[in-house]
Amino acid sequence: MKKIEKIAHMDMHRLTAPMGQQGVGLVPTMGALHEGHLSLIQAAKQACQEVGVSIFVNPTQFSPGEDFERYPRPIEADLAKCEAEGVDWVFCPSVEEMYPTGCVTRVQVDRLGDVLCGQHRPGHFEGVATVVAKLFNIVQPAMAFFGQKDAQQVAIIRRMVRDLCSPVKIAVCPTIREADGLAMSSRNVYLSSSERAQATVLFESLSWAKSEIESGQKDVAGLTREMRNKVIAAGPCEIDYIEIVDADELTPKSNVEGRCLIALAVRIGKARLIDNLVVDAPRHGS
């Protein structure tokens, strides 16, 4: 009889048995696939022998009054894109299939889910963590692929996987942008053409702040104030937040130091847009 005291040893034990889904990569999506999703699929194809995509517009991650009903669902186009990318299977369950009557279990990631978007979308990250936990159990992938554009989601899922010891490796892929810098998003279709032009200010203000930080600027309040001014100057909008936080813990910073996440969420017209950049503060700033 073996006495095992460390999870690492248990992992070793597990690795001596054949793993069911070794080589399976999962790309969880809500559909309305764009170049960002396709880059996740391509990364999965590089890393895994079998690639599956889930398409599920998850109701529990929408707050009341949000765009659950009107969220785009071009399922045939999505399937064609997956086919073209060489995806092995697409899992597109119904809401009833994923949440049968009497479904009462929730996965909560404290603290990380309460800041940034969590303050403006109550229950959102609980919905995300729960559905991702379910998808991981259903598919049992060896790896799952997420985009850096959803930086807070990435931080939360990484933490959930670590905390619950899920046997899934989380891969994070760079944000894919339009030629003018706007982060690709299924919600960009909500923008009118003038709003679409205005929306480039988000990446511009993030890039400005990143460049300032790389030049040694440490004053978080000054940086976010100036970003706010830039965003407001570009046209009518509602700023949910513009923040500079610790990239892993998502805790606020008063001075720029270490690995920082510059993140924002801004409502332009009918679209709520998010974007972010990660920046390593220089050790010896000006």
Q: Which range touches a second copy (CB under 8 A), out of 57-65, 132-140, 147-155, 264-272?
A: 132-140
Residue 93, classed as helix, strand or coil, is coil
The answer to whether 283 contacts a second copy (rule: CB under 8 A) is no
Q: Is 82 in the site for a second copy (CB under 8 A)?
A: yes
Taking CB under 8 A as the rule, does residue 115 contact a second copy?
A: no
76 touches a second copy (CB under 8 A): no
Q: Considering only CA atoms, which of 175, 161, 170 is closest in space to residue 47?
A: 170
| 164 binds a second copy per the rule CB under 8 A | yes
The C-alpha atoms of residue 223 and residue 169 are separated, in whole angstroms, by 35
Q: Length of the chain in residues, anyone?
A: 286
**Residues in region 87-106 near a second copy by CB under 8 A:** 87-94, 97-98, 102-106
CB of 20 to a second copy, least distance (A): 4
* 8 phi, psi to nearest 5 deg: -55, -40
- When binding is defined by CB under 8 A, the residue of 6, 233, 238, 286 that contacts a second copy is 6
CB of 252 to a second copy, least distance (A): 17
- Within residues 249-268, the interface with a second copy by CB under 8 A covers 249
Residue nearer to a second copy on the CB measure, 91 or 208: 91
Q: How many Cα atoms occupy the beta-carbon half-sphere of 264 within 13 Å?
A: 29
Q: How many CA atoms lie within 13 A of 211 on its CB side?
A: 7
- Candidates 70, 111, 120, 270; binder of a second copy (CB under 8 A) is 111
Please answer whether residues 218 and 281 qualify as being in contact, where contact means their C-beta atoms are separated by less than 8 angstroms. Answer: yes
DSSP state of 188: G
Q: How many CB atoms lie within 10 A of CB 168?
A: 24
Q: Is residue 10 within the footprint of a second copy (CB under 8 A)?
A: yes
Tell me which stretch binds a second copy (CB under 8 A): 62-70, 128-136, 229-237, 266-274. 128-136
**224's tokens:** 């976010």
CA atoms of 278 and 283, how far apart (whole Å): 16
User: Would you say 128 or 231 has its CB closer to a second copy?
Assistant: 128
Contact 188, 280 (CB under 8 A): no
Q: Does 134 bind a second copy (CB under 8 A)?
A: yes
37 annotated active-site: yes
37 is a site residue for a second copy (CB under 8 A):
no
> For residues 231-250, which are near a second copy according to CB under 8 A?
249
For residue 120, what are the CA distances in angstroms to 102, 107, 175, 203? 28, 19, 22, 21
Distance CA 280, CA 244 (A): 12
Candidate residues 33, 43, 139, 265; the one interacting with a second copy per rule CB under 8 A: 139
CB of 283 to a second copy, least distance (A): 24
12 binds a second copy (CB under 8 A): no
Catalytic residue among 9, 13, 34, 37: 37
Question: Pick from 169, 137, 112: which is nearest to 54 by CA?
Answer: 137
- Half-sphere exposure (Cβ direction) of 195: Cα atoms closer than 13 Å: 17
Burial grade of 178 (CB within 10 A; 0-12, 13-18, 19 or more): middle
Q: Which residues are catalytic?
A: 37
List of residues contacting a second copy (CB under 8 A): 1-7, 10-11, 13-14, 17-21, 24, 79, 82-83, 87-94, 97-98, 102-112, 129-130, 133-134, 137-140, 159-160, 162-167, 249
